[in-house]
Structure 1
Amino acid sequence: MNFQNPIKLLPVFALLTVIGCGSSAPPKATLEQNAFASVLGLGDIAGDPNMFPTAFVDGSAPDNREEYAQRGYEIAGEAEVNGDQLTVPVKIFGGIFATSTADRTKKASEVSTTTQNWVLQRVGEEWKIKDAPLG
């Protein structure tokens, strides 16, 4: 093989790139990561009255959507998975402005920080919130 002709080497480099460098696909998200995304995004979703119920198991969305929109959420510990149900401690804090147009005139929440256990239920391929007490 003549190494002075780089055009002939392109197929070799392409083949080595495909089979020799390992997978470039991002790792799959774990069940917990998918569930955590449901919790962490709730403050934003709560700003939209049409989207809010979609974060919850059918029939379990709370009536006080505005209170959820004014708070932020963090995972505060290890989750317990029991079949298609997951329980996770969630740190709930105030001081968040609602993002929907209807809620923008409200002041930031002055609620103190608390931690509550939330329950999520797997519905098909996604996690939905089943029980999310604010405190």
Structure 2
Amino acid sequence: MKLQNLIQLLPAFALLTVIGCGSSAPPKATLEQNAFASVEGLGDVAGDPKMFATAFVDGAAPDNHQDYAQRGYEIAGEAEVNGDQLTVPVKIFGGVVATSSADRAKKAADVGTTTQNWVLQRVGEEWKIKDAPLG
């Protein structure tokens, strides 16, 4: 084979190598990971009453969404799944500066840290919060 022909085939070999070696789609998030994202992202959506309501099962959103916006949330242990319901310990901490829909910063919450059990309900393919006590 002539050198010129080999050089012309080089891009095709490179492409086949890239395609064939470990090019796989990123793993899909598990249902449990989706539930954890719903919990840990609650502080971000709590500044907007409409977005806050969509994080909860219909009719379960608390009226005090501002209180939720001033706190942060972190999964604090193992989740217990029972059918379409999941219970998980959530660490709730203060000191988070909340923003309103107008992006004006509000005073940070001056509350301690607590851990509460939250209940989530699977609605279709996503987890929505059913009960989220602050403490």
Fold shared by both chains (TM-score > 0.5): yes
SS of 1:81's partner is strand
SS of 2:29's partner is coil
Q: Say yes or no: does 1:15 pair with 2:16.
A: yes
Residue 23 of structure 1: how far off its partner (Å): 3.1
Which structure 2 segments of 5+ residues have no match?
none
> Which position in structure 1 is the counterpart of 2:30?
30
Deviations 1:38-77 (A, max 9, x none): 0011001000112110000001000111110111100000
Contact 2:99 2:106 in 1 (8 A): no
> Which position in structure 2 is the counterpart of 1:123?
123
Out of 111-120 and 5-14, give the one that drifted further: 5-14
Q: Say yes or no: does 1:108 pair with 2:102.
A: no
Deviations 1:60-118 (A, max 9, x none): 00011111011110000011111111111000011111111568464211111100000
SS of 1:109's partner is coil
Structure 2 CA distance for aligned equivalents of residues 86 and 33 of structure 1: 12
Structure 2 CA distance for aligned equivalents of residues 122 and 23 of structure 1: 32
Contact 2:91 2:113 in 1 (8 A): yes
* Structure 1 residues 61 and 12: alpha-carbon distance in aligned structure 2, compared to 1, 3 A threshold: same
* Structure 1 residues 30 and 2: alpha-carbon distance in aligned structure 2, compared to 1, 3 A threshold: farther
Contact 1:34 1:127 in 2 (8 A): yes
> Which position in structure 1 is the counterpart of 2:95?
95
> Which position in structure 1 is the counterpart of 2:77?
77
Q: Say yes or no: does 1:65 pair with 2:68.
A: no
Which structure 1 segments of 5+ residues have no match?
none
Alignment root-mean-square deviation, CA: 1.8
Structure 2 CA distance for aligned equivalents of residues 124 and 39 of structure 1: 17
SS of 2:26's partner is coil
Residue 15 of structure 1 aligns with an amino acid whose one-letter code is L
SS of 2:50's partner is coil
> Which position in structure 2 is the counterpart of 1:47?
47
